[in-house]
Every structure is written in C-alpha cells, then in structure tokens.
Amino acid sequence: MSLQIEPLTPVFGARISGFSIREGVDESVMAEIEQAFEKYSVLLFPDQPVDDDEQIAFSERLGPLESTLPGAVGAGSKVARIANIMPDGTLKDPNGHQALFTRANIFWHTDSSFKPVPAKASLLSARRIPKAGGDTEFASTRAAYESLPLELRAKLQGLIVIHDIAHSRAMLTPEALSPAQREAMPPVEQSLLRVNPINGRKSLLIGSHAARIKGWDETASEDLLAELMTVTTKPEHTYRHHWTVDDIIMWDNRAALHRGHEYDEINDRRLMIRTTLAGLGPTVVDGVAQAAL
C-alpha cells in the first residue's frame, strides 16, 4: 500500500495518510516518508495516537534523537514536554522558569540552533489541546531563500550567524537563563545558508536564536536578519496548523521555522510531546560555513 500525500500549501507542507504507527510501518513506507520530508519540509500525520515509547521508537527509525535541554522538565530524556502542565497534571507556575521557557516558543525559531549541532527534524504529537488557540505555524526558509533576488543570495554566501538561546529568551525576560544553563549553552556559530544534501535546495538558518552576523556591525546585522525574517514569514511562505488530538507533525529544522501561538495557559491545558532528530554535524567548522548537512 502506498501513502496518500496531499500538499498543504503551494510551496511546502504535506498531509500524509495511509499508514499507522501503532499497527507498524514497514521499511518501504518509512522510505516514502523520508522522501516526502526532504521534499515538503513539514509533514502532517493525522490520526496517529502514540504514547511516548511509541513516538520514540518511530522517531528513532528516522535517525538518532537529541535529548532534552538542561533545566527543562525531564531533562536528558528523549522526549520534550511542551506543556503548561507538569507530569503530575498540576499547572506550571505561569510566572515560573519552566513556563517562561516554554512560552518562548511563540517567537519564530528553529529547534536547537543554539546548540553546536542544530536539530535535523522534530516530531510533535498533540496529546491534549486547548479549547482555543495553541496553533503551531510554520514558515519555509527554503521558499523564502528561493524568492530572494540573486544579488541578495550572493551576499549571503559564507556568512556566519551567532545563535544564542539567551538572545531568544531575553525577548521575554532578561533572567530567562540560569547561570548553570548559561554555562551549559554558550553562543554558537551557524552557517546562515543551508543546502539540502539530497536535493541541493538552499534555505536560511535564522529565527529567534539568531543574535548577530559574525563580523558585522550591529545595525547592519540587525537589518539583514530582520529583512530575512520578513521575507520568510510572508503569508505565502507559511502554514498555520490548528491541532486535533493525535495529530503528529514532523518538520525539517533545516528548511522551516515554527512558532507556537498563544492560548489560555491559566484556565486551559495543552500537552504536546516532541522527539527531536539530531543533526548530522556542526554547520561551521574551523570558522568556515558548511552548508550541506
């Protein structure tokens, strides 16, 4: 049996049905999913109920996983809880560190770009959704790059961007990072351009963790990063998903940004579980951008 693949927008994203994680997925279907992933960047798998172990097992067939950030709930495990509730069901303190950390997902970002090896892909499953809000929106940095004028594309070649989790967290509060987290997650260098090793298509590695362009003065750096964000988040480069329980979305962190929309964190409950496929290597080696990973 072969999969049904229906595009979500004219430029990226596809809804994939015709398989069941719970009933077992054979190798040929896994290969079709991987092909679709490289092509569409964002894959929606509707109606795929999973528990954490099933999600981990399915994800691990696609590649090795990252473990959860220091300081997060369940740090060091293979699943990240994106939630306003703790594992025991109680509400997170809305002003506490844990809640702030999750709330920073409202800014456009790509997962783990503040780590020396940024994440390849993320799989997010909707376990509990709020009555209103809490959508997740995606933006294609590949479609954005391909829409840029050639002179601008040439100017981006070889640029290195400093990514820093303190930069994105400071958008919410200056004390978002504890001293231990600061030490565990120092700023890193990333290639601004990425090249998909399979199809050669280029994309931009930007988003809320992107603090500045290496070697540029502050204004020029801010202007370029802002310009690239504006192009990337144009409506024609985005897809906004309104969740249904048991949806899973898998996205390519190399080719898309995402952000979580707000919901009533005090009176409602939202629980999403994420597994994260590790990247293949650093995007800068010895000061030289390595785009093709």
Q: Which residues bind ligand OGA (CB under 6 A)?
A: 82, 105, 111, 122, 124, 136, 258, 260, 272, 274
Distance between CA atoms of residues 145 and 73, nearest Å: 35
- Whole-number minimum distance, CB 138 to ligand OGA, in Å? 10
CB atoms within 10 A of CB 226: 11
Residue among 79 and 224 whose Cβ is closer to ligand OGA: 79
- Whole-number minimum distance, CB 109 to Mn ion, in Å? 6
CB atoms within 10 A of CB 292: 15
- In three-state secondary structure terms, 31 is helix
- Segment holding 5, helix H or strand E: strand 4-7
- Whole-number minimum distance, CB 223 to ligand OGA, in Å? 26
Q: Identify the DSSP state of 200.
A: -
Kindly list the residues in this chain that would bind Mn ion in the complex (CB under 5 A).
Answer: 111
- Whole-number minimum distance, CB 218 to Mn ion, in Å? 26
Q: Choosing among Mn ion, ligand OGA, none, which partner's interface includes residue 247 (Cβ < 5 to 8 Å by kind)?
A: none
Residue among 3 and 117 whose Cβ is closer to Mn ion: 117
**140 is written with which tokens?**
């294609």
- Whole-number minimum distance, CB 129 to Mn ion, in Å? 17
**31 is written with which tokens?**
């290969």
Q: Choosing among ligand OGA, Mn ion, none, which partner's interface includes residue 272 (Cβ < 5 to 8 Å by kind)?
A: ligand OGA
User: Of all residues in this chain, which one has the CB nearest to ligand OGA in the complex?
Assistant: 260
**133 is written with which tokens?**
């809000």
Distance between CA atoms of residues 223 and 84, nearest Å: 34
Residue among 111 and 247 whose Cβ is closer to ligand OGA: 111
Distance between CA atoms of residues 251 and 256, nearest Å: 7
Q: Choosing among Mn ion, ligand OGA, none, which partner's interface includes residue 82 (Cβ < 5 to 8 Å by kind)?
A: ligand OGA
Residue among 110 and 221 whose Cβ is closer to Mn ion: 110
Cα→Cα distances 244→25, 29, 134, 210, 272, Å:
22, 23, 11, 31, 11
Q: Choosing among ligand OGA, Mn ion, none, which partner's interface includes residue 241 (Cβ < 5 to 8 Å by kind)?
A: none
Distance between CA atoms of residues 113 and 130, nearest Å: 28
- Whole-number minimum distance, CB 253 to Mn ion, in Å? 8
Contacts of 150 (CB under 8 A, 6+ apart): none
Q: Choosing among Mn ion, ligand OGA, none, which partner's interface includes residue 136 (Cβ < 5 to 8 Å by kind)?
A: ligand OGA
